[in-house]
Amino acid sequence: MPAVRTLEYAGACLQAREVGGDEPRRFLRSVNQLFYENTADGDYATFFFAEYNDKTGWLRFANCGHLAALLLRRDDALERLASIATVLGLFEDWDCMLEERQLFPGDTLVLYTDGMTESFNDSGEEFGEQRLIEALQRHRGESSQALVSSLLDEVRQFNPNEQQGRHHAHCCQLSRKLRADMIED
């Protein structure tokens, strides 16, 4: 499903949250049903759902066919929060499980779309997940906003011919850096 059509359903998804209430699995089933009933056969969307509790540091998530989120731990260990459910909208009978991770001060969580990793340079090489991980490791000490800018700059340096706006339009990038006081910078 084209990104623009996906955005058209964003409002419907928010309305589905009211239908699904506070139970994330019920919410995600509602979103799937909306996509299934309102899109052409074969259309689908990847989706990364996350809830973060600032007080406890726990992240609850469901990755529905989306690229793996990257969780760079303060000790430089990397965790890939890979897909644990199928895409949304392709199947009428759909369900998912949720996973949890505890985030600690100094951890960095990065969510991204294929606009980051599927950029090709003049030699036909793809930027790819490994280059994104290496860039994340190089810039991990930066503030969240600076980290996002640095990652986008790395993609632009890799492929200077890429349209600058494409990364902003296709990269739903989120960086969360935690400090001892659990305040976002």
- For the stretch 62-85, pLDDT in tens is 999 999 999 999 999 999 999 999
The pLDDT of residue 35: 86
90's tokens: 């392709």
Distance CA 81, CA 73 (A): 13
> Could you give the percent of the chain with pLDDT greater than 90?
45
> Could you give the percent of the chain with pLDDT greater than 70?
75
The pLDDT of residue 8: 52
Asked if residue 113 has pLDDT above 70, the reply is yes
CATH 3.60.40.10 placement within the chain: 1-104
Give the strands of the sheet with 99-102, arranged side by side: 47-53, 58-64, 99-102
The pLDDT of residue 173: 37
The pLDDT of residue 54: 87
Asked if residue 183 has pLDDT above 50, the reply is no
Write down the CATH superfamily of domain 1-104.
PPM-type phosphatase domain (3.60.40.10)
Q: Which residue has the higher pLDDT, 95 or 175?
A: 95
Q: Which residue has the higher pLDDT, 140 or 185?
A: 140
Q: Where are the beta strands (DSSP E) in the chain?
A: 47-53, 58-64, 69-72, 78-81, 99-102, 108-111, 174-177
